[in-house]
Structure 1
Amino acid sequence: MLWFSTLSKTGFRSVIADNDEASSGKCLVPIPVPDIGLLWAEIEDAAVDGKLLAAKKSTHELVRIIGHNLACVYCAASDAATVAETLRTLREIGVDGELQYKSDRATFDGRDEYLYSSADFEMALKPV
């Protein structure tokens, strides 16, 4: 098993649509081992409180393979507005650094392609 169960206040399930943007997807959030700043706790609380749609975390088995924990923070669709709002919430709870976003359509198809990078949204997220 590579992933712990998905946490969601709404009972989230992935949607695989005909294209990337209409499919659900996830921000990939690397979490250092050990998680001294307790980043996972912030993500977990936000998912349980409904601030984030859903989240899941890598198991120790995956950590051994990739060298760090990884959280998937889900979006109901992979359009830019939905992803930007999720990224805004992640930044508000203290997630920093470069993040990648992958649609569940790409995962289902076995494509190792990212639809967005957090850098695509950073200017729009800065307060004016």
Structure 2
Amino acid sequence: MLWFPTLSKSGFRSFIADNDEGSTGKWMVPIPVPDIGLIWEEIEDAAVEGRILAAKKSTHELVRIIGHNLACVYCSASDPDTVAETLRTLREIGVDGELKYKSDLATFDGREEYLYSSSEFETLLPRP
């Protein structure tokens, strides 16, 4: 098993549409080992409280393969507005650095490409 169960207040399920923007998707959030800043706890709390749609975290088996924890923070669709809003919440809870976004359609199709990079949205996000 590579992933712990998905956390969601709303009972999230992935949705695969016939295009990337209509499909659900996720911000890929690398988390160092150990998580000194405890960013996973912030993501977990946001999912349980409903501030983000859903999140899941890599298991120790995946950490051994990729060398760090990885969290997937889900969006209800992969359009720029929905994706930007979730990124805004991630920044508010303390997630920093460059992030990549992948649609669930791309995952389903086995494509390695990312739909967005967080740097594409930084000018839209409020400065702290």
Shift of 1:3: 0.1
Residue by residue over 1:64-102, the C-alpha shift from the partner in whole angstroms, topping out at 9 and shown as x without a partner, is: 000000000000000000000000000000000000000
* Structure 1 segments unaligned to the other structure (5+ residues): none
Q: Which residue of structure 1 aligns with residue 88 of structure 2?
A: 88
Distance 1:98 1:11 in 2: 28
Q: Which runs of 4+ in 1 moved over 6 A?
A: none
Matches within 5 A, 1:1-128: 1-127=1-127
Local SS of the residue matching 1:43: helix
Q: Over aligned residue pairs, what C-alpha RMSD do you find? A: 1.0
Distance 1:44 1:32 in 2: 16
* Structure 2 segments unaligned to the other structure (5+ residues): none
Residue by residue over 1:16-38, the C-alpha shift from the partner in whole angstroms, topping out at 9 and shown as x without a partner, is: 00000000000000000000110
Length-normalised TM-score, structure 1: 0.98
Aligned partner of 1:19: which letter?
Answer: N
Shift of 1:126: 3.0
Distance 1:73 1:56 in 2: 7
Aligned partner of 1:80: which letter?
Answer: P
Residue by residue over 1:104-127, the C-alpha shift from the partner in whole angstroms, topping out at 9 and shown as x without a partner, is: 000000000100000000011034
Q: Aligned pair count?
A: 128
Distance 1:120 1:81 in 2: 12
Length-normalised TM-score, structure 2: 0.98
Aligned partner of 1:85: which letter?
Answer: E
Aligned partner of 2:44: which letter?
Answer: E
Distance 1:101 1:124 in 2: 16
